[in-house]
Amino acid sequence: MAHDPPGPSVCAFRCTRPSPSEARVFLLRLPLLLALLAAAPLAAQPADSSAGRADTTLPDVTVTATRVPLPSRDAPARVTALGRRAVAATNATHVAELLEARAPLFVRRYGPSGLATVTLRGAGSSQTLLLLDGRPLTDPQLGAMDVSLLPTVLLESVEVLHGGGAALYGSDAVGGVVHLRAVQPGEGPALRLTSEAGAWGQRRMGGLLSGRTGRWSGVVVAEGERADEDFQYPDRSLLGEPLVRHAGWDRQRVAGYGAAAYSDEATTLRAAALLVDAERGLGGTDSVGARQWDRQVRLWLDGYQKTGWGRIGAGGFVQRARLRYASPFPAGDRPDALDETGRTATAGLDLRTHVTALDGWHLTGSLSAGLGTADHPSFPDHATDRYSALALAGAQTGGRLRLFPAVRLDAYAPTEAARRLVLSPSLGVNGQPFASDAFRLKASAGRVFRMPTLNDRFWRPGGNLYLQPERGWTVDAGGVWTPRGAQLEVTAFVSTLRDQIVWQPTVEGYWAPENVGRTRSLGVEVSASKTWLLGSGRGLGTGLSATLTDARDRSDPAASSYDRQLRYVPRWTAKGWTSLALGALVLDVNAQAVGRRTTTADASQSLAPYLVFAGQLRYARMVGPVRATLGLHLANLTDRIYEVVQSTVMPPRHLRVRLALQIL
C-alpha cells in the first residue's frame, strides 16, 4: 500500500537559482495579497465571544466519520481532531508540520522544502484521501497532494479519519481521510497579524481580517514565506564526516484565501477561493539544481436550505493547478536538460440531503459528478476522467447501541476504456456497555478502492488504459474512555488490498503500470490526553499517541519482497506533547519518534530510527483591545541529524521568533 509509483509520477513531483526578476515576483506578490486585508468589503467587527473561537477552543465534534455532527467518542471509527490550539503549540507553518507533530500518522517529507505526503495505516500517499471543506483536493494526474503547500493560517481545524472511508467519500480513502476545514467567515478574531523570522533566511508574514454585518460575514487571509535552508550538517557518507552545506533547497510561497457567507434562519450560502503559489529548489548547488513551481487556484460554493424534515444542500468546486519542473540534469531517455510544465483541472458538483428520522436516526444522501483533466508533454490531448456517484448513509444517534450503515456506488467513465462500477458498503457500530457514557466500544468494516490516476493510464510511454481499480477491505475495533479532563483510545486494525497498481520495468526499457500487487496491513493505535487546571490562568495539558503498523507485501511468493515490510512504512511511530500555562507565559514541548523505514523492496536496507524534540515559549499580553503574543520556538532541541526519506537531511537545531497581534 505504501508504494509510490516509480518513474513518471515521481519525476513529476521532482522538479537554477531564480533570476533577479523571478526573485522580485515574491516581493511584489506579498504586499498585493496583504492589501486585500484593507480592501475587505465587510466592516471588521469583533465576533461574538460565543461564536466558536477557533484559536482558543475546538469542539470535540466530527462530521468526517459519519456525515452527521457527533462527538468523536460517539463515532464508529477513530477520529483525530486538531485545531488552532495545536497550531499555536507546535508553531506549525503548514499542514505537513502540523500533522507531523500531532497526528498519529507518518508524513513522508523529502527534506525541509521538498514534497510532503501523508501515509496512514500502511497506505501510500495516493491511497490517503485529502479533502478541503468536504471535497477532494488530490491532484488527478499524480494521485497525491503535497501538504507542505497548504499554510495553517487558512485552517479552522483538521480531522483525520483512520481507516477506510470509501462508502462515504469514494476513491483513494483506503488508509483514511485527512479533512481540512478552512476558517469560517465572521468567526474568530477580527484582525490577526503575524510576523516570523528564523535561521537560514526564514521569513514569514501573514494576516487575517474577519467581519460580520447583519446576515453577511466574510474573511480574508494572506501569507508569504521564504527561506534559504542553506544549513550545514556532517556528511556521514564521507571519511571524517566533514561539514557540508545543504545547498539548492530554498523555498518561497504565497497563499491567499477569502470567503463570504450569507445566513438567516433557514438559508446558508457560502463562496470561497484559495490561491497557493510556490517555488522551491530540489537540491544541487548555489547555481545548479532542479527547481519546481507549484500553483493552485480553487473556487468553491455551498448552500443549504432547512426544511421541516431536515435540510437540503448543493455545491460545487473548480480547481486549476500547474506544476513546472526544471532540471539541468539528464532524466531517463532524455540526454538534455528538462523543463516541463503540467496543468490539471478538476471540477465537481453535488446535491445533498439530510433527513432526521424517528428513533434517533439521521439519514444522509448525496449525488455527485465530476471530472479531471491533465495537459502534460507526456500525455495525449484527451487525458480526461469522468465520474458520478450515489451515496447513502445512516447514523443512529440515540441508544446504547448505535449503528452506522453506509453504501456508495461509483461510476467511472475513463477515456478510451470501459466504464467501471464500484460498490462500497460499510457498517460501523458504537456501543455503550456500561451505564456511564464515559466508555464506548467502536467497530467498523468496509470495502475500499482506488481508481488509476491519469499518470497510470496516459503517461507515454507506459500508460495502461485497461487497469482495474485497486480493491480491498478494512476492519477495525477498539474502545475510548473519556473520564473528566482525559481521554484514552485504543484501536486495532487490519486491511487487505489486491490488484494494486505497480510500475515495473518492461523489456522495451521503460516502466509501465500493472495490477499485480497485494498487501496486508495490521496494527494498533493508542492515544491518551489529560488536562489539569492548576488555578486562575494556570493549567497543564499533555498527550501521547503511538502506532504500531505491520504492512507487508503479499504479491508474489517467489519474489524477494514477499512478506517484507513495505517501503517507507515505519513499524512504529510515537508522538508526545505538553503545554504548561503560567498566566501569560506558556511553555510547549513536542516530541516525535519514528521507527526504522525500509528503503528497498526486499527490506535489505533501511533508515535509522530518530527522536526529535521541539520547545517553545509564548508570552501574551493585552494592550488595550490588542492581544500581543511573542513566541520563541527552538526546533530539533537535541541537534539530531536525521533523514525522513533517504538522501534528504532535515535541519539541525534552529530558532524561530514569532510576533502575533490580534484584535478579538
What is the C-alpha separation between 526 and 480, in angstroms, rounded? 10
User: Taking the mean position of all CA atoms in its chain, how far away is CA 500?
Assistant: 23
Confidence bin at 254 (pLDDT 50/70/90): very high
What is the C-alpha separation between 416 and 457, in angstroms, rounded? 10
What's the mean pLDDT in 309-324? 95
Query: What's the pLDDT at 235?
Result: 81
Q: Which residues pair with 566 in a beta bridge?
A: none
Query: What's the pLDDT at 476?
Result: 96
For residue 148, what is the DSSP state?
G
Q: What is the DSSP string of 1-50?
A: --PPPSTHHHHHH------HHHHHHHHHHHHHHHHHHHT-SS--PPPPTT
What's the mean pLDDT in 586-595? 97
What's the mean pLDDT in 479-496? 95
Is residue 328 in some structural domain? Answer: no
> Which CATH number do you get for residue 511?
2.40.170.20
Q: pLDDT, tens digit, for every residue of 444-458?
A: 999 999 999 999 999
Short-list 427, 418, 352, CA closest to 391: 352
Q: Where is mean pLDDT largest: 119-128, 281-290, 325-334, 415-424?
A: 119-128
What is the C-alpha separation between 483 and 442, in angstroms, rounded? 17
Is residue 368 in some structural domain? Answer: no
Q: What mean pLDDT is reported for the chain? A: 87
Query: What's the pLDDT at 287?
Result: 57
User: Does the pLDDT value for residue 57 go beyond 70?
Assistant: no
User: Does the pLDDT value for residue 621 go beyond 70?
Assistant: yes
Is residue 56 in some structural domain? Answer: yes
User: Does the pLDDT value for residue 521 go beyond 60?
Assistant: yes
What is the C-alpha separation between 160 and 64, in angstroms, rounded? 8
Strands 128-132 and 176-182: parallel
User: Does the pLDDT value for residue 36 go beyond 50?
Assistant: no
Helix (H, G, I), strand (E, B) or coil at 126: helix
Query: What's the pLDDT at 335?
Result: 58
Short-list 132, 103, 134, CA closest to 118: 103
User: Taking the mean position of all CA atoms in its chain, how far away is CA 14?
Assistant: 19
Total count of residues recorded for the chain: 664
Strands 585-594 and 572-582: antiparallel
What is the C-alpha separation between 249 and 229, in angstroms, rounded? 6
For residue 649, what is the DSSP state?
B
Is residue 20 in some structural domain? Answer: no
Lowest-confidence range among 52-56, 306-310, 495-499, 528-532?
52-56
Q: pLDDT, tens digit, for every residue of 622-638?
A: 998 999 999 999 999 99
Is residue 376 in some structural domain? Answer: no
User: Does the pLDDT value for residue 190 go beyond 80?
Assistant: yes
User: Does the pLDDT value for residue 10 go beyond 90?
Assistant: no
What's the mean pLDDT in 35-53? 34
Q: CA dist 533 to 467, 484, 617, Å?
A: 57, 12, 19
What's the mean pLDDT in 331-338? 64
User: Does the pLDDT value for residue 27 go beyond 50?
Assistant: no
Lowest-confidence range among 217-231, 280-294, 377-391, 402-416?
280-294
What is the C-alpha separation between 87 and 91, in angstroms, rounded? 6
User: Does the pLDDT value for residue 316 go beyond 70?
Assistant: yes
- Asked whether the beta carbons of 146 and 155 are under 8 A apart, the reply is no
Short-list 221, 204, 252, CA closest to 34: 221
Query: What's the pLDDT at 289?
Result: 81
Burial class from Cβ neighbours inside 10 Å (0-12, 13-18, 19+) for residue 48 reads exposed
What's the mean pLDDT in 343-352? 96
Identify the residue with better confidence: 356 or 408. Answer: 408
- Cell 450515489 belongs to which residue? 390
Is residue 589 in some structural domain? Answer: yes
User: Does the pLDDT value for residue 559 go beyond 60?
Assistant: yes
Query: What's the pLDDT at 25?
Result: 38
User: Does the pLDDT value for residue 273 go beyond 80?
Assistant: yes
Upper half-sphere CA count for residue 165 (Cβ side, 13 Å) = 32
Query: What's the pLDDT at 638?
Result: 95
Q: CA dist 157 to 207, 215, 313, 520, Å?
A: 18, 24, 22, 31
What's the mean pLDDT in 18-46? 36
Strands 610-623 and 626-635: antiparallel
What's the mean pLDDT in 1-22? 39
SS (H, E, C) 445-507: EEEEEECCCHHHHHCCCCCCCCCCCEEEEEEEEEEEECCCCEEEEEEEEEEEEEEEEEEEECC
Q: Could you give the number of structural domains in the chain?
A: 1
Identify the residue with better confidence: 293 or 61. Answer: 293
Is residue 66 in some structural domain? Answer: yes
Question: CB neighbours of 174 closer than 8 A, spacing ≥ 6?
Answer: 1, 123, 127, 128, 164, 166, 448, 449, 450, 470, 472, 474, 495, 497
User: Does the pLDDT value for residue 83 go beyond 70?
Assistant: yes
Query: What's the pLDDT at 54?
Result: 34
529-558 exposure pattern, b = at least 16 Cβ within 10 A, e = fewer: beeeeeeeeeeebbbbbbbbbbbbbbbeee
What's the mean pLDDT in 68-81? 92
Q: Which domain holds residue 151?
A: 8-15+25-217+230-293+302-321+333-362+382-663
Query: What's the pLDDT at 214?
Result: 92
What's the mean pLDDT in 459-476? 92
Short-list 522, 583, 513, CA closest to 550: 522
For residue 461, say if its preceding peptide bond is cis, omega within 30 degrees of 0.
Answer: yes
Is residue 270 in some structural domain? Answer: yes
What's the mean pLDDT in 503-515? 88
SS (H, E, C) 153-192: HHEEEEEEEECCCHHHHCCCCCCEEEEEEECCCCCCCCEE
Query: What's the pLDDT at 2?
Result: 43
